[in-house]
A and B are shown apart, each in its own frame.
Chain A
Amino acid sequence: MSDTATSDALPKPKRDLLPVLLPAAFALLMLPLVGSASSWATLLAASLAMGMMIFIMASGLTLVFGLMDVLNFGHGAFIAVGAYIATLVFLPLAGWSQADSLLTNLAVLVPAAVLAMGVTALLGLFVERVLILPVYGQHLKQILMTTGGLIVAEQTLYALWGPQIIPMPLPASLRGSFIFGEVAVAKYRLLAMLVGLAVFIAIQLVLNRTKIGLLIRAGVENREMVEALGYRIRRLFLGVFMVGAALAGLGGVMWGLYREQVHASIGDELTVLVFIVVIIGGLGSVGGCFIGALLVAMVANFGGFLVPKLALVSNILLMVAILMWRPRGLYAVTSR
């Protein structure tokens, strides 16, 4: 052991590419089943867009779990709050958002997204300090506390906005689709894909190229060691939690626009979906979460197209299949 030459480079970590190939293989497999290439491409675009939106919402959850070992059952509340906050900007400025100019549309869209992210980040701060801080390291209590938080948040939304569905129409310049040959891709889906990809790349860059990212990854591996080196890991936790909440809020805004309506129950609905994605990806893994989101969206879209009856349980079947293959999810990050 000791006589190994120190000049030898460390062995490169083994790259596990199999999960990466999975969505591509799945998409290709669907091509003969769907039959027509143009509807296949449309479905693929729909799944990519949906997958990206789910990824945006789920990435925060998986990071928070990976770093802090906190499973936030109230993550859906951030999604719903984000969507509701966006309506605060969209409804008064309906004129701008329906005007036929990209610039005025963006003048509504961007502030809505920023405001939603800001509010959910602050809410995240509050939740972390009040609900999660007292129960670090106690899974059972975390689950109970955050479930309670989800109920309270959802009911508060009902109390403030009422139980009705709030319409949130897409800005005018995001309606319609781009036509590539025979394939029509809705403009908003393209935007969702771009935003999702940007978030993914940003997270990867921050995690892999910055000091903070280094600390986060180190914290995932071994929290005590990072603490022993003198870093305030609690503050890092808080930051990650707030970013996770803000991303969930952004996801909520995008989902609300995608559905063109907002209701407090999206928190519940999406919690389940986000959980499935996070489990499939492997708790704590951002890359796994990305692939998981794509897979879930593909199964939902292609499954819904081919066997509509199956769509109800397709997510569960996917999760079962993945867990049969890899019991800890696609990429098992943490030893927990």
Chain B
Amino acid sequence: MMILSGDPPRSRLLAVLLIVIVAMLVLTPWLFPGAKAMNVAVKICIFAVLVASYDLLLGYTGTVSFAHTMFYGIGSYAVAIALYAMGPSWAAIGTGIVVGLPMAMLLALAIGLFSLRVAAIFFAMITLAVASAFQVLASQMSWLTGGEDGRTFRLPELLRPGTVLIDKSAFGFEINGRTLTYYLVFVVSALLILALLRVVNSPFGRVLQAIRENPFRAEALGYRTVFHLTYANCIAATVAACAGVLNALWLRYVGPDTSLAFSIMLDILLMVVIGGMGTIYGAIIGAGIFIIAQNYLQTLMGAASSAAADAGLPLLPGLLHPDRWLLWLGLLFIASVYFFPTGVVGRLRRPKAGAA
């Protein structure tokens, strides 16, 4: 259990669920070689990291940040701009990472030092304001970011779909640059999640939980709460920027819609709440459930909407239109905060915790 930092799933069903999700992610290129399935799988990996890093803030310290997509966007844009400006080389990816991650961290440090010293509620409002300003800035500075159109760029030779590493004749399936990129994303995501698991189960993570439960007491015990919260904010921002890097590498495109939009922030919030706050595993479950639902339920909604339109029902076609997906998401969100505050992982772990 070293690899899980002594924090196993603690529920048989949860363990099975996690193993199934991870196994499916490992086998996706073989089982479902289509582009859509691969995209869904990659999105699950990337969002699992993003949501896990957000969980470090929301679940472990109890602070709500609305700037998480901003850090995600910084990672994406840094790599994208570097690859766009320097051409498709590994050096460009390196430059993007070396510039992007510290930038995200420093910005998180600045926001944290600035707003966390007063009250957690300030932090939520200030992150919202800063994130919206950043979004406007990114779409206005079109000479750098490509504006609303974003930037399309090429990856180094090795990661391109056209690069065939092992021919189909060898094993019966082809391993190309795309498969390699997929595994790169998967492995980095897995490492980041394990690292986050390590963070939350370290003494540092325990202090964070103490702050969440009772900030005054934590401070009275001699822990500098502002320092810990800011530190957690920086870690979360850096990990989010890493997820952004992976996102850019997979999409080979970066734009406001894919990396900065406020709707991504809502998705993250929803995944954390569905999966279970304060459990890094919840991120994997939440991301898995949510993204599969998002990709396949929208089709269902479209069908329901046109069926309702054919039946001549009033209002329903509009409410069931696939673009109104967020409406149902919002209702689901409120319902899950209200009835289901511990999320899937909390539910699965509960009986055992009650027995102990």
Binding site for B on A (CB under 8 A): 71, 73, 131, 134-135, 139-141, 143-145, 147-152, 154-156, 158-160, 162-163, 268, 271-272, 275-276, 278-279, 283, 312-313, 315-316, 319-320, 323, 327-328, 336
Contact of A134 with B338 in the complex, beta carbons under 8 Å: yes
Instruction: Name, among A141, A272, A328, the residue most crowded by chain B CB atoms within 10 Å (CB to CB).
Output: A272
CB-based nearest B residue for A268: B262
5 nearest A-B residue pairs (beta carbon): A151-B330, A155-B327, A152-B330, A148-B334, A148-B333
Q: Mark B115-141, 1 if CB is under 8 A from A, else 0.
A: 101111110111011101100110010
From the candidates A148, A271, A279, name the one contacting B337 in the complex (CB within 8 A): A148
Task: Write out the residue numbers on chain A whose beta carbons fall within 8 Å of the beta carbon of B128.
Answer: 271-272, 275
B266 to chain A, nearest CB (A): 6
Q: Given A151-B266, A275-B125, A312-B136, output 10 extra A-B contacts at Cβ < 8 Å.
A: A71-B125, A73-B124, A147-B266, A147-B269, A148-B330, A152-B331, A156-B327, A312-B140, A313-B137, A323-B118
Chain B residue nearest to A143 (CB atoms) is B64
Chain B positions within 8 Å of A272 at CB level? 128-129, 132
| Set of chain B residues within 8 Å of A336, measured between Cβ atoms | 119
Does B168 touch A at the CB level, under 8 Å? no
Chain B residues with Cβ under 8 A from A328's Cβ?
Answer: 118
Task: Determine whether B157 belongs to the interface, using a CB cutoff of 8 Å to chain A.
Answer: no
Q: For the complex formed, measure the closest distance between the CB of A324 and the CB atoms of chain B, giving whole angstroms.
A: 8
Complex partner residue of B126 from A143, A151, A158, A319, CB under 8 angstroms: A319
Q: List A contacts of B147 (CB < 8 A).
A: none
Interface of B is mostly: helix
> Which residues 329-355 of B have a CB within 8 angstroms of A?
329-331, 333-334, 337-338, 341
Q: For residue B58, which residues in chain A have a CB less than 8 angstroms away from its CB?
A: 140
In-complex Cβ contact of A144 among B126, B269, B329 (8 A):
B269
A144 touches B333 (CB 8 A): yes
The binding surface of chain A is classed by DSSP as helix
Contact check: which of A71, A283, A316 meets B130 at CB < 8 Å? A316
Would you list 27 pairs from A and B whose C-beta atoms are within 8 A, ordered by A residue? Answer: A71-B124, A73-B124, A135-B338, A139-B120, A143-B124, A147-B333, A149-B334, A151-B333, A152-B327, A152-B330, A154-B326, A155-B324, A156-B327, A159-B315, A160-B315, A163-B323, A272-B129, A275-B129, A278-B125, A279-B126, A283-B121, A312-B136, A312-B137, A313-B133, A316-B129, A323-B114, A323-B115
Does the CB pair A327–B117 fall under 8 Å?
yes
Closest A residue to B136 using CB positions: A312
Query: In the bound complex, do residue A159 and residue B319 qualify as a contact, i.e. CB atoms below 8 Å apart?
Result: yes
Q: Which residues of B contact A327 (CB under 8 A)?
A: 117-118
Closest chain A CB from B335 CB (angstroms) = 9
Closest to A71 in B: B121
Tally of A-B Cβ pairs under 8 angstroms: 103
Contact B64 A140 (CB under 8 A): yes
Which chain B residues border A279 with CB–CB below 8 Å?
122, 125-126, 129
A155-B330 contact, Cβ under 8 Å, with A134-B338, A141-B341: yes
Question: 8 Å CB contacts to A: which residues of B33-57?
Answer: none
The chain A residue with its CB closest to the CB of B266 is A151
CB contacts under 8 Å to A, within B211-259, are: none
Would you call B273 an interface residue if the criterion is a C-beta within 8 Å of the partner chain's C-beta atoms? yes
- CA gap between A159 and B273 in the complex, in Å: 25
Tell yes or no: B318 within 8 A of A by CB: yes
The listed residue (A145, A151, A159, A276) touching B318 by CB distance below 8 A is: A159
Are A159 and B129 neighbours in the complex by a CB distance under 8 Å?
A: no
Among B62, B124, B318, contact of A160 (Cβ-Cβ < 8 Å): B318
Closest CB-CB distance, B214 to chain A, in whole Å?
Answer: 14
Which residue of the partner chain B has the closest CB to A309? B140
A315 cross-chain contacts in B, Cβ below 8 A? 129, 133
B68: Cβ under 8 A from any A Cβ: no
Q: A336 to B114, alpha carbons, bound, how many Å?
A: 17
Chain A neighbourhood of B151, CB < 8 A: none
Q: Which residues of chain B are near A152, meaning CB under 8 Å?
A: 327, 330-331, 334
Contact (Cβ within 8 A) A144 B327: no
User: In the complex, are the beta carbons of A159 and B321 less than 8 A apart?
Assistant: yes
Residues of chain A within 8 A (CB-CB) of B121 are: 71, 139, 143, 283
A145 touches B338 (CB 8 A): yes
Closest to B328 in A: A155
Would you give the 0/1 interface string for B75-111, flagging 1 where the beta carbon is closer than 8 Å to chain A?
A: 0000000000000000000000000000000000000
Q: Which residues of chain A come closer than 8 Å to B122, judged between CB atoms?
A: 279, 283
Rounded to whole angstroms, the CA-CA distance of A268 and B262 in the bound complex is: 10
Q: Chain A residues near B315 (CB, 8 Å)?
A: 159-160
A154, B331: Cα distance in complex, Å: 12
A151 to B356, CA, bound (A): 40
